[in-house]
């Protein structure tokens, strides 16, 4: 593949950052002072095509990743645009901070990836990194060598197989190792082992057949027990089903008992609620009953005292009424009538006395002096007497008004009035005392009744009445409620105990499908133990026989397999015999092909290198040759090693060999060659002669010369060679 580099674009690599260089076909001469990045540019081109080398070396000079990772960054990146067989590609490579490298090749015409999974240098140049570094990459630190066995091996491999990765010397060594591994002169190796193994397998087949016979006898015993085991298994399955049903039924019984206890708890709770509903509250009812009973006792006693007081009061009022009925008049009325009678009496006496006086005076006057005055005095006496009569009539009216026949009778009764008044006062005082006692009893009864009504009203509705009966009713209800509360608590505890450690849902699931057992649990358990023991014993015998049969069969192996192994062993031995003879034939063929390097490859390289060396030395040294190890020598009559040449001449010889190798290794295709300060040990004359050789090579290959001075430029101009002068520019 004809390849030439068009452009190198550096994002970050060593000291170069955001830089670009454009190249042309033929010779490209980049001249710049030291430390300007020329060597970095050369290393960058190799990095893009092959990546970093020496990644495991600790020394900085041998570890390219450490050497060329920018100081001010942690990654390297860039791309190279090239032309290969008329197509244009861009190769881009990045080395990430983690050390992982990524590379892509893009077809510039289509924009699609190309050569996926391949090393770009191997894809475009057809050689590995080490061959590239030994042929196309000439650096200022490269020391000229008198021979290069690695390249010699690669050239020999190409001559034989067209693949430079195949090492013929190593191939012969490996073929000999493989042949001896199959069979050596001491009679050891894989083939003799296979023969011996075949004999061992013959003996094993005989022993296997014997052991197989014994194993078949044991298998027969196993087959004889199998029906009994199967019967026991079915019986155990039926018994286990029966046992499971019993457990299900027990679970059902537990579940039913839980449901019964739950119902009983609910019924007891309902009874308690009904009993409790007859009372408004049960809080402190017992102490309240004791207190209310005491209050009721006091209330009953107070009622008794009130009744006694009322009875005494009634008796006193009856006595007063009897006394008042014995009196013909009221005391106040009698006193008023007495005072009125006394007043009328005094007036009767007064007017009677006045009438007598006026009558005597009238008679005296009438008799003695004046008749008229006497008559007048008598008239006054008559008038006074009439007034006295009027008052006498009023006295009679007062007596008659009080239902007395005479004033004397009235006076007699009136004389008895103080005694009766005293008796009445005594009765009134007694009545007052009795009323006060009764009122106090009545008031206390009212307060006690209110307390009873209030106290009983906290627990039950009450309209009064017999508080003893109410308290008895309250006590009865409280006792009944307490009893039913106790029953409820007992039922609740029984229900809660029945749920301890039990999940009702799981129990219901366990009881699903339960039927009433036909037999007792103990009877089923006895049968289960019997058949389980029998099944276990028979099973143990079966296991022992199974182990014995397996042991016999494992010791015997499969006769058919052993026969197959013996056949394979014999076939393998025969196959390896053929391979053994093939190895011998291959070794002979490779040994015979070694002469081809001497007769064909080495002379061709020598001829081409001699042409370049003759131009580079102006024909001073002739007869330049290389042997099969690429050792360089010169001289027509007397052969001498190039080690005897001066350093500059050795550089010319070594560079001539590289140009020849480029022509040979790449089959006539043009490839880029990078020469980094390759002429530092040459004088100006030798550089001028070397320039002619480079100009000749540039007709086929792209030559990139990196130099710190103008000697290479002057030499190229002196010989009239065309060349480009690229520069490193910042972008």
Question: How far apart (Å, rounded) are the C-alpha atoms in residues 183 and 188?
Answer: 6
* pLDDT tens figures, 314-366: 888 887 777 666 665 566 666 666 677 777 777 777 878 887 887 777 777 77
Question: How far apart (Å, rounded) are the C-alpha atoms in residues 295 and 450?
Answer: 10
Question: How far apart (Å, rounded) are the C-alpha atoms in residues 43 and 39?
Answer: 6
Would you say residue 368 lies in a domain? yes
Q: Which of 615, 614, 616 is nearest to 624 (CA)?
A: 614
Of 338, 369, 403, the position where a domain reaches its end is: 403
Of 403, 421, 455, the position where a domain reaches its end is: 403
Share of the chain residues as helix, strand and coil, in percent rounded to the nearest 5 = 65, 10, 25
Q: So what's the pLDDT on residue 154?
A: 44
B/e letters for 400-433, b = 16+ CB within 10 Å, e = fewer, are eebebeebeebbebbeebeebeeebeebeebbee
Longest dimension (CA), the chain: 247
Q: So what's the pLDDT on residue 307?
A: 87
Would you say residue 34 lies in a domain? yes
Question: How far apart (Å, rounded) are the C-alpha atoms in residues 378 and 365?
Answer: 10
DSSP string of 39-77, one letter each residue: HHHHHHHHHHHH----TT--SGGG-HHHHHS-TT-S-EE
Residue 679 belongs to a domain with what CATH number? Answer: 3.40.50.300
Question: How far apart (Å, rounded) are the C-alpha atoms in residues 245 and 511?
Answer: 8
Of 355, 373, 403, the position where a domain reaches its end is: 403
Would you say residue 70 lies in a domain? yes
Would you say residue 564 lies in a domain? no
Q: What are phi and psi of 385, to 5 degrees?
A: -65, -40
Q: How far is CA 326 from CA 322, 423, 492, 587, in A?
A: 6, 12, 80, 180
To the question of pTM greater than 0.75 for the whole model, the response is no
Q: Are 300 and 376 in contact (CB under 8 A)?
A: no
**Within the chain, which residues score under 50 in pLDDT?**
141-166, 596-598
User: How many distinct helices (H) and strands (E) make up the chain?
Assistant: 19, 14
Q: Which of 116, 74, 110 is nearest to 94 (CA)?
A: 74
Q: So what's the pLDDT on residue 24?
A: 96
Q: Which domain holds residue 687?
A: 1-126+667-731
CB atoms within 10 A of CB 304: 11
Would you say residue 312 lies in a domain? no
Would you say residue 27 lies in a domain? yes
CB atoms within 10 A of CB 330: 12
CB atoms within 10 A of CB 59: 9
Indicate the SS3 state at residue 459.
coil
Would you say residue 119 lies in a domain? yes
Q: Total domain count for the chain?
A: 2
CB atoms within 10 A of CB 446: 12
686-687-689 Cα angle (round to 5): 65
Would you say residue 699 lies in a domain? yes
Q: So what's the pLDDT on residue 160?
A: 37
Q: So what's the pLDDT on residue 113?
A: 94
């Amino acid at each position: 593949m004809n390849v030439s580099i068009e452009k190198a674009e550096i994002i970050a690599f060593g000291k170069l950052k955001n830089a670009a260089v454009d190249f042309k076909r033929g010779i490209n001469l980049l001249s710049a002072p030291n430390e300007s990045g020329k060597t970095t540019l050369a290393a960058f081109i190799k990095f893009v095509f092959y990546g970093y080398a020496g990644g495991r070396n600790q020394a900085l000079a041998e570890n390219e990743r450490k050497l060329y990772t920018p100081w001010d960054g942690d990654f390297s990146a860039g791309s190279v645009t090239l032309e290969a067989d008329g197509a244009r590609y861009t190769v881009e490579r990045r080395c990430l901070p983690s050390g992982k490298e990524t590379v892509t090749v893009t077809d510039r015409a289509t924009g699609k990836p190309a050569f996926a999974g391949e090393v770009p240098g191997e894809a475009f140049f057809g050689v590995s990194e080490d061959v590239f570094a030994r042929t196309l990459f000439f650096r200022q630190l490269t020391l000229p060598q008198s021979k290069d066995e690695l390249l010699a091996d690669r050239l020999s491999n190409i001559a034989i197989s067209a693949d430079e990765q195949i090492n013929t010397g190593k191939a012969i060594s490996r073929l000999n190792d493989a042949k001896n591994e199959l069979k050596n002169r001491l009679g050891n190796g894989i083939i003799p082992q296979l023969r011996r193994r075949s004999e061992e397998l013959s003996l094993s087949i005989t022993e296997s057949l014997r052991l197989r016979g014994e194993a078949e006898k044991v298998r027969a015993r196993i087959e004889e027990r199998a029906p009994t085991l199967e019967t026991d298994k079915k019986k155990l399955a039926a018994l286990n089903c029966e046992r499971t049903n019993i457990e299900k039924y027990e679970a059902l019984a537990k579940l039913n008992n839980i449901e019964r206890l739950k119902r009983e708890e609910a019924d007891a709770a309902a009874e308690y609620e009904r009993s409790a509903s007859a009372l408004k509250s049960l809080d402190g009812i017992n102490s309240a009953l004791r207190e209310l009973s005491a209050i009721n006792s006091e209330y009953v006693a107070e009622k008794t005292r009130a009744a006694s007081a009322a009875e005494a009061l009634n008796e006193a009022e009856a006595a007063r009424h009897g006394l008042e009925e014995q009196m013909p008049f009221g005391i106040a009325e009698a006193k008023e009538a007495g005072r009125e009678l006394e007043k009328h009496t005094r007036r009767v006496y007064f007017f009677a006395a006045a009438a007598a006086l006026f009558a005597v005076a009238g008679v005296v006057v009438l008799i003695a002096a004046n008749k008229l005055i006497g008559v007048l005095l008598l008239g006054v006496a008559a008038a006074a007497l009439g007034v006295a009569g009027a008052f006498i009539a009023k006295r009679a009216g007062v007596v008659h008004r009080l239902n007395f026949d005479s004033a004397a009778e009235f006076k007699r009764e009136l004389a008895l009035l103080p005694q009766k008044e005293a008796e009445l006062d005594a009765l009134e005082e007694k009545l007052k005392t009795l009323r006060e006692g009764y009122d106090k009893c009545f008031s206390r009864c009212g307060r006690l009744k209110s307390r009873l009504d209030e106290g009983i009203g906290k627990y039950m509705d009450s309209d009064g009445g017999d508080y003893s009966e109410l308290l008895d009713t309250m006590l009865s209800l409280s006792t009944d409620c307490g009893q039913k509360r106790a029953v409820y608590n007992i039922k609740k505890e029984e229900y809660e105990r029945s749920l301890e450690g039990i999940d009702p849902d799981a129990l219901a699931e366990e009881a699903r499908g339960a039927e009433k057992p036909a037999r007792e649990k103990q009877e089923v358990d006895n049968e289960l133990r019997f058949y389980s023991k029998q099944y276990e014993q028979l099973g143990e015998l079966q296991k022992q026989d199974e182990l014995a049969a397996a042991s016999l069969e494992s010791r015997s192996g499969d006769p058919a397999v052993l026969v197959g192994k013996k056949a394979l062993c014999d076939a393998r031995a025969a196959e390896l015999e053929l391979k053994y003879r093939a190895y011998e034939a291959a070794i002979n063929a490779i040994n015979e092909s070694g002469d081809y390097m001497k007769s064909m490859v080495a002379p061709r390289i020598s001829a081409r290198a001699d042409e370049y060396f003759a131009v580079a030395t102006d024909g001073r040294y002739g007869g330049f040759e290389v042997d099969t190890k690429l050792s360089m020598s010169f001289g027509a009559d007397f052969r001498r090693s190039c080690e005897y040449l001066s350093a500059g001449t050795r550089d010319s010889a070594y560079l001539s060999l590289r140009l020849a190798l480029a022509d040979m290794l790449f089959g006539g295709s043009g490839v880029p060659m990078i020469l980094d300060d390759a002429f530092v040990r040459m004088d100006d004359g030798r550089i001028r002669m070397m320039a002619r050789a480079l100009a000749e090579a540039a007709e086929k290959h792209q030559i990139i010369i990196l130099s710190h001075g103008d000697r290479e430029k002057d030499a190229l101009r002196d010989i009239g060679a065309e060349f480009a002068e690229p520069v490193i520019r910042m972008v």
